[in-house]
Amino acid sequence: MNILFLTLLDFDSLNESNIYTDLLREFIRHNHSVYVISPVEKRKNIDTHIIEEDNCKILKLKIGNTQKTNIIEKGISTVRIEPDFIRAIKKHFADVKFDLVMYSTPPITFCGAIEYIKKRDNARTYLLLKDIFPQNSVDIGMLSKDGVKGKIYKHFRKQEKKLYAISDRIGCMSEANVKYVLANNPEVSADKVEVCPNSIEPLDMSCSGEDRIAIRRKYNLPLDKKIFVYGGNLGMPQGIDFLIDCMQRQNFGDVEFLIIGNGTEYSKLKKFVDETDRQNIILMKYLPKDDYDRMIGACDVGMIFLDHRFTIPNFPSRLLSYMQAKLPVLTVTDPNTDIGTIAEENGFGVKCISDNPEDFVRAVNRLKSMDMPNMGEKAFAFMQQEYTVDKSYEIITRLME
């Protein structure tokens, strides 16, 4: 088969490691030809070009700036993305007949490009639903359903429904996502919605003994404490105000909290860390991915934070980096996601709702008294059982039968 993958993720090789490149390599392992459109923003001063690898062509499409820019430029560039993708397909992939088009949310603005390929090639279409927008923005107050923001919401809601309609299959991250999509979109047929979870090519990223000590010493991490680590975006969806409340309330002498990430709320968190007299909080802005993966393996517990106001069941992919490092997880989330329930029911985590800092303290104490290494082994085993790309490949290709 010829597979086309549409994304806003900027990557230059399928040898990179993330939930999308890992999945596309699985298709190549099954002798399919993979074509990718991956944009590069004009600020990088790189013209549109094609990168060729074994059974793969990555079209690096030059688009306008959509990140780290003013709202006017961002708006214009976002509107132009869809026609830019269509023109690129017509110019660079005119002689390729695609059998399957895959795409993920975000964004929800690929409808025209998907429709074009579907009509031109009679291709099947598969949505990897990683984000339920615009409702997620309503939940945390970035949009509303009335007023001026309400008009923006209605526009994007219409786009969302159109995306669901043109997708032959919708792969959701968990059962809670399936139920949410069907409950809130009654026009969507139940037989086109299924669980197709975040998945990776499984690697054992755990470490112990001398390696663990060496990594901790390299980054000035304590050798005699349990390290609870959070790695990822630090923005509104993570409920940073609540995270700060938790850090203020905790008083653990035998636990170190390590927070690695960047985002719109980073400065707020840094201000708290700089001004507090807490001695057991370490904040890092950035680490190269290889270094980050190694550091995670030298920690004891992985943390996931989500704003308690979410009505949509988020399922952050950072869970997988904790699982392959054989870490138990502490999920501090809204009550609607099932990520914490899955972790608890399968013996590799503890959950609490992100609206009461004292519940967080109790959850940390609960984890401290548990057999963390055994929980970490259960996390790794569950990942191998449920969250590997060969499973996702089987799910997606059922559409072609």
CA distances, 230 to each of 92, 184, 304, 322 (Å): 41, 32, 7, 10
Q: Is the backbone of residue 197 left (phi > 0), alpha (psi -120 to 50) or beta?
A: beta
- Strand partners of residue 124: 100
Which pLDDT value is given to residue 129?
Answer: 96
- Phi and psi torsions of 119, nearest 5°: -75, -45
- Whole-structure pTM value: 0.91
The 226-233 sheet, strands edge to edge: 281-284, 255-262, 226-233, 301-305, 329-333, 349-353
Condensed to tens digits (0 to 9), the pLDDT of residues 234-291 reads 888 888 888 988 888 887 888 999 999 888 888 888 898 888 877 888 898 878 888 8
Which pLDDT value is given to residue 43?
Answer: 82
What the block records as the tokens of 165 is: 């309609």
Rounded to the nearest integer, the mean pLDDT of the chain is 91
Residues 295 and 267 sit within 8 Å (Cβ to Cβ): no
Q: Measure the CA–CA gap between 353 and 364, rounded to whole angstroms.
A: 13
Ranges of the chain with pLDDT below 70: 68-69, 71, 73-75, 77
- Strand partners of residue 376: none
Q: Measure the CA–CA gap between 317 and 323, rounded to whole angstroms.
A: 10
Residues 296 and 325 sit within 8 Å (Cβ to Cβ): yes
Which pLDDT value is given to residue 68?
Answer: 65
Q: How far apart are the first and last CA of the chain?
A: 12
Which pLDDT value is given to residue 123?
Answer: 97
Which pLDDT value is given to residue 74?
Answer: 67
Domains along the sequence of the chain with CATH: 2-200+388-400 (3.40.50.2000), 209-386 (3.40.50.2000)
